[in-house]
Amino acid sequence: MANSALTLSEIDAFYGDSHVLQRVSFQLGEGRLLGLLGRNGAGKTTCMNVSVGLLPPRSGSVELFGAPVTKLPPESIAARGVALVPQGRRVFKSLTVRENLMVAARVGFAGHGQIPWTAETVFAMFPRLAERRQQMAGYLSGGEQQMLAIGRALMANPRVLLMDEPSEGLAPQIVAEVMATIRKLKESGLSIVLVEQSPKLVFDIADDIVILNSGRVAVVSTAAALKQDGVDLRQHLGVF
Ligand X SMILES: Nc1ncnc2c1ncn2[C@@H]1O[C@H](COP(=O)(O)OP(=O)(O)OP(=O)(O)O)[C@@H](O)[C@H]1O
Build a one-symbol-per-residue string for 182-201: x at contacts with ligand X by CB under 6 A, - elsewhere: ---------------x----
- Window of 3-11, 12-20, 93-101, 173-181 that interacts with ligand X by CB under 6 A: 12-20
The three-class DSSP label of residue 74 is helix
Note whether 111 binds ligand X by CB under 6 A: no
- Window of 81-89, 126-134, 152-160, 212-220 that interacts with Mg ion by CB under 5 A: 81-89
What is the distance between the alpha carbons of residues 30 and 4, in angstroms, rounded to a whole number? 5
Q: Which of 154, 150, 53 is nearest to 106 (CA)?
A: 154
Nearer to ligand X, 40 or 173 (CB): 40
Q: Find the shortest distance in angstroms from Cβ 148 to other proteins.
A: 12
What is the distance between the alpha carbons of residues 192 and 185, in angstroms, rounded to a whole number? 8
* Choice from 40, 134, 173, 228 touching ligand X (CB under 6 A): 40
Note whether 7 binds ligand X by CB under 6 A: no
**Cβ(102)–Cβ(153) under 8 Å?**
no
The three-class DSSP label of residue 224 is helix
Q: Are strands 216-222 and 208-213 parallel, antiparallel or unpaired?
A: antiparallel
Note whether 6 binds other proteins by CB under 8 A: no
Among other proteins, ligand X, Mg ion, none, residue 146 binds (CB under 5-8 Å by kind): none
